[in-house]
Amino acid sequence: MPLKWIDSLDIALDLLEMYPEIDPETIRFTDLREWILALDSFEDDPEHCNERILEAVQTCWIAEK
């Protein structure tokens, strides 16, 4: 199932799997956005991203780590 911007937890889980060495508390949102767009399962409009969405993904990633 393709991921959309609203799938914060699923995106975070994919990022955790791809980047286990990354501390999600120290990531820059510009990097986070690029990593999300690079996910094979991600299929949403890049223009629909905003800081609130990235914060939600980061929060989920921190919680899962």
In a domain, 33, yes or no: yes
**31-37 contacts, C-beta under 8 A, 24 or more apart:** 32/57, 32/58, 36/11
User: Confidence class of residue 7 from pLDDT cuts 50, 70 and 90?
Assistant: very high
Domain that includes residue 28, residue range: 8-64
In a domain, 34, yes or no: yes
In a domain, 19, yes or no: yes
Question: pTM of the prediction?
Answer: 0.95
- Check which CATH number belongs to the domain holding 16 and give it: 1.10.10.600
In a domain, 3, yes or no: no
In a domain, 2, yes or no: no
Count of domains observed in the chain: 1
User: Confidence class of residue 43 from pLDDT cuts 50, 70 and 90?
Assistant: very high
The answer on pLDDT for 38 being more than 90 is yes
pLDDT value, residue 1: 86
What sign results for the dihedral spanned by CA atoms 18, 22, 23, 27? negative
For residues 36-51, one letter each, b for 16 or more C-beta atoms within 10 angstroms of the residue's C-beta and e for the rest, the string is beebeebebeeeebee
Phi, psi of 20 (to 5 degrees): -65, -20
